[in-house]
């Protein structure tokens, strides 16, 4: 019968005690990371997702871009590459711009063949302390401008309302 | 631990130890990636269709005469990574216009730029479609509104993708 630990420090003459300790440490570390980031966090915020609706403004685009949007399209953030909601309504208005007259006064003028597109986006997320987090992590608020895309169009949009 | 005959210190870890440690660490990393879902593609990234896509590219402000270089049948490549972008199936030549402003009334209007042309190319290419992207045969993701650098037979151009035809509209 083999000894439990031979004179070279191997268990049953097969594997070094140090190897066994290192493997156990790595397994424990893996289990710890898994519990911390995939189990404990979920139980700590075990609330249902809140519905979030927000509106995006895509300003001064041509009809090609306007026609690229359809209700039901999914919108993604370009930087984080995450789904940030589905278009539930589209509103199109003529694009206007504030400009100066020769006497220095400002006036508002319509820009021909340019449009402002308002997209209503429905999604779910976390509403915490009057802050809105799409998918619990992607913070949005009025006046933020981000690069976004759908399957068919890439664009820059400003959040105009959240609720 | 010292060798009694040579007096040299034995290394703390031998090659076998290091291999086992690396294997265990790799297994741990794979396990965490698998649990985080990063090893499985997102639903919207899974290829749903293969087919042909038609899209249009606008190249503007061309020197007079340059627009004649663009021909139906031209094979386009992306100039940055040499991706195949498809075949030109239509060429429309227009005057180049810019938005300008009447300084007295502040009204905006479009005006033609003399001796400058704009070309709108219709391009067709085999593609794969997922829920979030259309990737043409060469591996290039196309979306309306994005800038595209193209090269054809003996010409280059920087343009904008005007629109990408939807599968339901094709």
The answer to whether residues A79 and A141 belong to one domain is yes
State the smallest CA–CA distance between residue B84 and chain A in angstroms: 19
Length of chain A equals 163
CA distance A36 to A34: 6
Please tell me the distance in Å from B122's CA to the nearest CA on chain A.
14
Helix or strand (DSSP H, E) at B59: strand B49-63
Count how many pairs of residues, chain A against chain B, have C-beta atoms within 8 Å. Answer: 100
Q: Are residues B112 and B62 in the same domain?
A: yes
pLDDT at A140 over 70: yes
Residue A19's domain comprises 10-44
Mean pLDDT of A122-140: 88
Percent of chain A with pLDDT over 90: 56
On the question of pLDDT at A14 being above 90, the answer is: no
Evaluate whether residue A100 is within a structural domain: yes
State the residue range of the domain holding B99. 47-169
Mean pLDDT within A133-151: 91
B34 touches chain A (CB under 8 A): no
Its pTM stands at 0.72
Is A64 inside a domain boundary? yes
Are both A14 and A64 inside the same structural domain? no
Chain B residue numbers touching A27 (CB-CB < 8 A): 24, 28
Residue B57: which of B137, B118, B7 has the closest Cα? B118
| Cβ–Cβ gap B104/A102 under 8 Å | yes
User: The tokens of A134 are what?
Assistant: 């799409």
Residues on chain A touching B28 (C-beta within 8 angstroms): 26-27, 29-30
Do the interacting molecules here have an ipTM over 0.85?
no
Taking a C-beta distance cutoff of 8 angstroms, is the pair B46, B130 a contact? yes
pLDDT for res A43: 45
Between A26, A68, A154, which is nearest B24 by CB?
Answer: A26
Cα–Cα dist A90/B168, whole Å: 19
Residue A144 has pLDDT above 80, yes or no: yes
SS3 B154: coil
pLDDT tens sequence across B80-89: 889 999 999 9
User: Closest partner residue to A68 among B28, B129, B163, by Cβ?
Assistant: B163
pLDDT band at A135 (very low <50, low <70, confident <90, very high): confident
In this complex, do A27 and B28 lie within 8 Å of one another by their Cβ atoms? Answer: yes
For B97-140, what is each residue's pLDDT tens digit?
999 999 889 999 999 999 999 999 999 999 999 889 999 987 89
Indicate yes or no: CB of B144 within 8 angstroms of CB of A68. Answer: yes
Is the same domain home to B51 and B24?
Answer: no
Residue A56 lies in a domain: yes
Q: Does B37 touch chain A (CB under 8 A)?
A: no
- Nearest-CA distance B154 → chain A (Å): 29
My answer on whether B23 and B94 are in the same domain is no
Query: Is the domain of A29 the same as that of A106?
Result: no
Does residue A90 share a domain with residue A24?
Answer: no
Contact B132, A151 (CB under 8 A): yes
Tally the domains of chain A: 2
Summarize pLDDT for A41-75 with one digit per residue, the tens: 544 444 568 899 999 999 999 999 999 999 999 99
Q: Domains in chain B: how many in total?
A: 2
Bridge pairing between strands B134-136 and B147-152: unpaired
- DSSP class of residue B74 equals P
pLDDT, one tens digit per residue, over A92-130 is: 999 999 999 998 899 999 999 999 999 999 999 998 888
Strand pairing partners for A143? none
**Interface contact flag, B107 A102, Cβ < 8 Å:** no
What is each CA distance from B66 to B96, B115, B152, in whole angstroms? Answer: 13, 11, 13
Please give, rounded to a whole number of angstroms, the shortest distance from the CA of B21 to a CA of chain A. Answer: 7
| A88: Cα within 13 Å, side-chain hemisphere | 10
B81 has a chain A CB within 8 A of its CB: no
Q: Please name the residues between 30 and 89 in chain A that touch chain B, using a CB distance below 8 Å.
A: 30, 33-34, 37-38, 61-62, 64-65, 67-68, 70, 74, 76, 83
> Is the Cα dihedral B119, A93, A116, B132 positive or negative?
negative
For the stretch B30-51, pLDDT in tens is 888 887 666 666 666 666 778 8
Verify whether the Cβ–Cβ distance B104 to A112 is below 8 Å: no
Q: Is the dihedral of CA B122, B123, B129, B135 positive or negative?
A: negative
Question: Is the minimum CB–CB distance between A101 and chain B shorter than 8 Å?
Answer: yes
B3 vs B78 pLDDT, higher one: B78
A33 and A73 belong to one structural domain: no
Q: What distance in Å separates the CA atoms of residue B54 and residue B167, rounded to the nearest whole number? A: 9
Residues in CB range of A32: below 8 A, 6 or more apart = none
Please indicate, yes or no, whether residues B89 and B11 belong to a single structural domain of this protein: no
Establish if A119 touches chain B: CB-CB under 8 angstroms.
no
Would you give the distance in Å from CA B79 to the centre of its chain? 11
Residue B10 has pLDDT above 50, yes or no: yes
The answer to whether residue A5 sits within a structural domain is no
Predicted pLDDT of residue A130? 84
State chain A's mean pLDDT as an integer: 87
């Amino acid at each position: 019968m083999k000894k439990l630990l031979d004179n070279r420090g191997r268990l049953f003459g097969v594997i070094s005690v140090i190897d066994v300790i290192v493997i156990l440490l790595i397994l424990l570390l893996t289990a710890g990371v898994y519990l911390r980031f995939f189990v404990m966090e979920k139980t700590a915020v075990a609330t249902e997702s809140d519905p979030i609706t927000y509106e995006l403004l895509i300003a001064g685009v041509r009809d090609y871009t306007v026609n690229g949007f359809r209700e039901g399209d999914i919108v993604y953030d370009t930087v984080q590459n995450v789904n940030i909601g589905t278009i539930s309504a589209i509103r199109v208005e003529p694009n206007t711009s504030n400009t100066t007259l020769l006497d220095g006064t400002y006036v508002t003028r319509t820009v021909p063949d340019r449009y402002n597109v308002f997209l209503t986006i429905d999604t779910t997320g976390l509403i915490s302390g009057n802050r809105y987090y799409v998918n619990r992590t992607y913070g949005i608020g009025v006046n933020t401008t981000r690069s976004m895309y759908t399957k068919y169009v890439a664009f820059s949009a400003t959040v105009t309302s959240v609720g | 631990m010292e060798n009694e005959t040579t007096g040299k210190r034995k290394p703390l870890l031998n090659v076998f130890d290091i291999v086992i440690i690396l294997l265990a660490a790799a297994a741990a990393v794979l396990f965490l990636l698998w649990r985080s879902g990063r090893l499985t593609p997102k639903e919207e990234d899974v290829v749903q269709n293969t087919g042909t896509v038609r899209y249009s590219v606008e190249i503007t402000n061309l020197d007079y005469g340059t627009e004649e270089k663009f021909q139906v049948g031209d094979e386009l490549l992306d100039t940055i990574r040499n991706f195949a972008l498809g075949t030109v199936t239509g060429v429309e030549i227009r005057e180049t216009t810019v938005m300008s402003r009447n300084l007295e009334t502040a009204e905006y209007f479009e005006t033609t730029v003399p001796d400058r042309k704009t070309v709108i190319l219709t391009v067709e290419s085999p593609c794969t479609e997922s829920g979030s992207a259309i990737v043409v045969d060469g591996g290039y993701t196309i979306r309306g509104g994005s800038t595209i650098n193209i090269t054809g037979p003996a010409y280059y151009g920087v343009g904008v993708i005007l629109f990408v035809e939807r599968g339901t509209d094709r």
